[in-house]
Structure 1
Amino acid sequence: MPGQRKRKRQKQEARQRHAAEYAEYAKGSWQVVYETQDYDEWQAYLRRLRAERTYDEESKLRADTFCGRLVHPTTYRLSVLVSADSAVAPSAGE
């Protein structure tokens, strides 16, 4: 197929760039920065965080929504990827 070799090479280069970019975080962990059960509070926190530009790379942030059931309410959690070298997660200024 025409162009298959080029596409294959581009995909391989993209994988290598991605691996090199996140090699320092390979042994890192996710640390919770913010957690709430109130949806409006959650939205306000995310808006404030984006406005302040507290974190330079949003790709290192993870937003989790734990679905509620009868006994447990829905919980919203924001975590940041921290490398194994750094001891404490950066503060988001709650």
Structure 2
Amino acid sequence: MIVETRDQVELRTQLRRLREAGIDGSMIRIDTLCGRLKLPTTYRLSQFVTDPGRRPEREPAGR
């Protein structure tokens, strides 16, 4: 997982950074966790990792 946020702007910013870094779009997953009435909607941005023993090619700053 790269980021989990309620802020759509933050999600789009992280997605743009991944694309600018040359990450293949087919390796990116976006989940929308709908909280309905009790919890706010949350967005989760993940990158598929082919070798879980290795670190992802790029990790966002501060994560």
Same fold (TM over 0.5): yes
| Alignment check: 8 A CA contact 1:37 1:74 kept | yes
How many residues were matched structurally? 61
**Counterpart residue number, 2:33:** 66
Which amino acid in 2 is paired with 1:91? R
* Equivalent position amino acid for 2:54 in 1: A
Structure having the larger proportion of residues in helix: 1
Matches for 1:1-94 after TM superposition, within 5 Å? 32-50=1-19, 52-55=20-23, 57-84=24-51, 86-94=53-61
Aligned sequence identity (%): 43
Q: Distance in 2 between matches of 1:37 and 1:65?
A: 9
Structure of larger gyration radius: 1
Unmatched tracts of structure 2, length 5 or more: none
TM-score normalised by the chain length of structure 2: 0.69
In structure 1, runs of 5+ residues without a counterpart are: 1-31
Q: TM-score, normalised by structure 1?
A: 0.51
The amino acid of 1:64's aligned partner reads: D
